[in-house]
Amino acid sequence: MDVIYAAEKRTIAELLEHHVHEHVRPEDINVTENPSETGSFYIGWRLRHYVLSPAGDIAAARARLESKRPPARQ
């Protein structure tokens, strides 16, 4: 499985490159499986995070952490 995963990383980088309209090197991305959906992956690139669907669509990942900013003063 690791060999297939490594071979697919180049393809995932190419898909992300088309999505962000910037050059993306495979070694610059971090790809992990999305346990919520079979065939889906989380992609980390620079400080951004994306989700790759099984259909090959890429979307920005939603932040899962709540903001820790103090409440606004009134």
Pick from 1-10, 19-28, 56-65: least confident: 1-10
Backbone angles phi, psi at 30, to 5 degrees: -115, 120
| pLDDT class of 8 with cuts at 50, 70, 90 | confident
Q: How far apart are CA 16 and CA 18, in angstroms?
A: 5
| pLDDT class of 22 with cuts at 50, 70, 90 | very high
pLDDT at 6 over 80: no
The mean pLDDT value of the chain amounts to: 81
Percent of the chain with pLDDT over 90: 54
Q: In one letter, which amino acid is 24?
A: V
